[in-house]
Structure 1
Amino acid sequence: MTTPPPATAVEPGTLLRLESDDWSYGRDLTAATKVAVVVTRLRTELAHVSDDWMWVLGHRPECANSRTGEHQPCMELRVKVTALRRFASTQDRRQSQ
């Protein structure tokens, strides 16, 4: 399995609050809306498909099992790499403080 480049490494459990233009497709999601997802993992095995987009698996924030992992991720969406970099850089700043 491929390791994501550091610029897109978002830790599991991270809450992504995405603007409507930060993502392009998601299972059972309404297009052109804001979306929040608690990251389970990045689909790094598909990273070769696009340099601009990455598939993210996760849970809705209100999902009771989002922290316990008691069921499969209830969300899968394609997110802009630039949006993931914003969240990754925020994590890096918090960890260095």
Structure 2
Amino acid sequence: MTLYGRMPEIPTPRPGTRLEIAAGDWQFGRGQDPGQPFTLVVSETRTALAQHYGNEWVWITGHAEDCADDHRPCREALVRTAKLRQTQEAVSAAH
């Protein structure tokens, strides 16, 4: 939350977006080693609980980079929204 009580906007990467997530940019995950960087191909950005984290963290589900997309998402992590903003800005700059 900011000084004036306004929650930051939550970036929502599109399904299929490839995220390179550093060890310090995520916590509480499924499918990856704790405290290690990993790659996540986004299936869904779940914003419903973000307000409980001051909109600074958001749950993202997806797949490993080499994973077939023929099953339910096998990875999940609570990711810093600042990381998503960086990714969103890089994608926008490339287009």
Name the TM-score class by shorter chain: 0.7 to 0.9
Residue type matched to 1:28 in 2?
A: G
Alpha-carbon deviations, 1:1-48, whole Å to 9, x = none? xxxx86512111111011110111111321111110000110012222
Larger mean Cα displacement after TM superposition, 50-59 or 86-95: 86-95
Relative to 1, partners in 2 of residues 1:88 and 1:6: Cα closer, same or farther, differing over 3 Å?
farther
Q: Is the 8 A contact 2:10 2:47 kept in 1?
A: no
1:1-97 correspondence to structure 2 within 5 Å: 8-50=11-53, 51-65=55-69, 70-95=70-95
**Residue-pair matches, total:** 87
The runs of at least 4 aligned residues of structure 1 exceeding 2 Å deviation read none
Give identity over the alignment, percent. Answer: 32
**Structure-2 separation of matches of 1:7 and 1:57:** 15
- Which residue does 2:4 correspond to in 1? none
> In angstroms, what is the RMSD of aligned CA positions?
1.7
- Normalised to the residue count of structure 2, the TM-score between the two structures is 0.81
Query: Using the alignment, how far apart are the partners of 2:10 and 2:86 within structure 1?
Result: 9
Uncovered stretches (5+) of structure 1, i.e. residues with no partner: none
1:44/1:7 Cα in 2 relative to 1: closer, same or farther (>3 Å)?
closer
Where does the alignment leave 5 or more consecutive residues of structure 2 unmatched? Answer: 1-7
